[in-house]
Amino acid sequence: MVDFVKLKRQYDLFAPEYEEAALRALRSGWYIMGGELEAFEAQFANYTGAGCCVGLNSGLDALTLAVRALGIGPGDEVIVPANTYIASVLGVTENGATPVFVEPDRFFCMDADRIGAAVTSRTKAILPVHLYGQPCDMEAICATAKKYGLYILEDCAQSHGARLNGRLTGTFGTIGCFSFYPTKPLGALGDSGAVITNDPALADRVRKLRNYGSGIKYVNELEGVNSRLDEVQAAVLQVGLRHLDEGNEYRRRIAERYLKGIRSDLVTLPVTRPGAEHVYHVFAVLSEHRDALQKHLADKGVKTLIHYPIPPHLQECYARLGYVRGSFPTSEAYAQNELSLPIYVGMPDDDVEAVIEAVNSFEV
Ligand SMILES: Cc1ncc(COP(=O)(O)O)c(C=O)c1O
């Protein structure tokens, strides 16, 4: 049986460090907003080169509070990819703003050439998602944002450590939003997230928003929420951060083996954008026979997933936006044809080989 992801293997690789960190936090007697959070925020700010990092409860909160801190709300529009996980869009609609969808390019990310046509007088921001761990065309997106005077909120929930022309995702735009869900390239052992930014005033607003809108205890400037990254997760994340580049390398090596080993006319392999360092959070292949391929792999004991079977514009929760099947054909085709092969830190070599053989033996 080939698992899609087995977190226990990654945990076991660094178990003594995780356990030391968790025990350190547990034994400290201080569990919320303490030294571990401060240390992690400083280390992540340092790793990314961003001036500020604010730890939060989840990636969705990172997006929601980033949008809120920029003052984006009802009547405003935010340009989002049509091909993404729903959370990218929820961060916008949670604030009462309207998502405007843009079709993906051949790298699965928002097509930079189509953004200009989506800009209106109400547009406030562009929200590119570095989907599957591959950077978007940030140079073009930054140029468009500059031309129209728009903020950029980068959704880096899948792209920790991914670079474009040497620059880390999350550092191109106004603010970078991260999830540390356990399976992510930098994962905690529970829920958590963060934003990074070079703008101290913006960081300060997010810092207040995460703590009931308060900077000084019992003084509430903003209508905030409770979205704090707890001390145990902050301690564990310091371990994950130390091994982030190594983990990304591990998945890249698996990806290289897939790219070399998979030979099938029925499967299209992923391509990397020139200048991009993909971190392969997801290894996404396309096949017109996706469902049959998934069944064939399951019969061979290989588990796979689909990222994502229903694009946001066709989700029931967004029926009010009035989109129909055919509104975004490229995204809909990806939803129909995409299949994610197993790839994770600690994945055994034999499992990689088994996946390659199973894909290559697929016939229709
Ligand atoms: C692209 C993207 N954005 C946002 C999120 C939300 O992150 P979280 O699960 O930490 O709320 C996820 C994670 O699942 C994601 O994949």
Residue bearing the CA closest to ligand 1, atom 2: 157
Q: Which residue's alpha carbon is nearest to atom 4 within ligand 1?
A: 87
Among 179, 230, 279, 305, say which to mutate for ligand 1: greatest number of ligand atoms within 8 Å of CB. Answer: 179
Arch. (CATH architecture) of 7-242: 3-Layer(aba) Sandwich (3.40)
Ligand 1 centre distance from Cα of residue 44 (Å): 18
CB under 8 Å to 81, separation ≥6 — which residues?
88, 101, 102, 104, 109, 110, 127, 128, 129, 131, 331
Cis peptide before 148 (omega within 30 of 0): no
Predicted local distance difference test score (pLDDT) of residue 65: 98
Q: How far apart are CA 145 and CA 43, in angstroms?
A: 29
* Confidence (pLDDT) at 105: 98
If you measure from the C-alpha of residue 132 to the centroid of ligand 1, how many angstroms do you get, rounded to a whole number? Answer: 11
CATH superfamily of 244-360: Aspartate Aminotransferase, domain 1 (3.90.1150.10)
Distance CA 64, CA 115 (A): 22
Closest CA relative to residue 88, chosen from 63, 52, 113: 63
Whether this prediction's pTM lies above 0.85 is answered by yes
**DSSP-derived 3-state class of residue 304:** coil
Task: Report the pLDDT value the prediction gives residue 285, as an integer from 0 to 100.
Answer: 98
* Inter-residue contact 185 to 159 (CB < 8 Å): yes
- Bridge partners (DSSP) listed for residue 178: 194
Question: Which residue's CA is minimally distant from atom 12 of ligand 1?
Answer: 157
Per-10-residue mean pLDDT for the chain, 364 residues long? 97 98 98 98 98 98 98 98 98 98 98 98 99 98 98 99 98 98 98 98 98 96 97 98 98 98 98 98 98 98 98 98 98 98 98 98 97
Whether 268 and 293 have beta carbons less than 8 Å apart is answered as no
Rounded distance from Cα 239 to ligand 1 centre (Å): 21
Q: Identify whether the C-beta of residue 31 lies closer than 8 Å to the C-beta of residue 25.
A: yes
Per the listing, tokens 């899609």 go with 4
Ligand 1 atom nearest to CA at 58 = 10
Question: 115, exposed or middle or buried, with CB in 10 Å at 0-12, 13-18, 19+?
Answer: buried
- Looking at the DSSP bridge assignments, the partners of residue 216 are 219
CA-CA distance, 351 to 347, in Å (whole number)? 7
Do the bridges between strand 123-126 and strand 52-56 make them parallel or antiparallel, or are there none, so unpaired? Answer: unpaired
User: Which atom of ligand 1 has the smallest separation from the CA of 131?
Assistant: 1
C-alpha distances out from residue 80 to 21, 124, 196, Å: 37, 11, 19
Q: Which of 61, 181, 184 to mutate to test the pocket of ligand 1 (most atoms within 8 A of CB)?
A: 181
What pairing do the DSSP bridges indicate for beta strands 98-102 and 77-81? parallel
Cβ atoms 202, 175 nearer than 8 A: yes
127 and 91 Cβ atoms separated by less than 8 Å: yes
Task: Calculate how far, in angstroms, residue 98's C-alpha sits from the geometric centre of ligand 1.
Answer: 19
**Which pLDDT score is estimated for 338?**
98
Cα angle at 291 between 285 and 293, to 5 degrees?
Answer: 60
Query: What lines the ligand 1 site, CB under 6 Å?
Result: 58-60, 84-85, 87-88, 129, 155, 157-158, 179, 181, 191, 193
* Residue reference for tokens 């090596």: 253
Q: What atom of ligand 1 comes closest to residue 191's alpha carbon? A: 10
Domain coordinates in residue numbering, the chain: 7-242, 244-360
The runs of H, that is alpha helices, within 262-300 are 290-299
- In the chain, which ranges are continuous DSSP H helix? 7-13, 15-28, 35-48, 59-69, 86-93, 115-118, 138-148, 200-209, 231-242, 244-261, 290-299, 329-337, 349-360
Q: In terms of C-beta density within 10 A (0-12 exposed, 13-18 middle, 19 or more buried), how is residue 188 classed?
A: buried
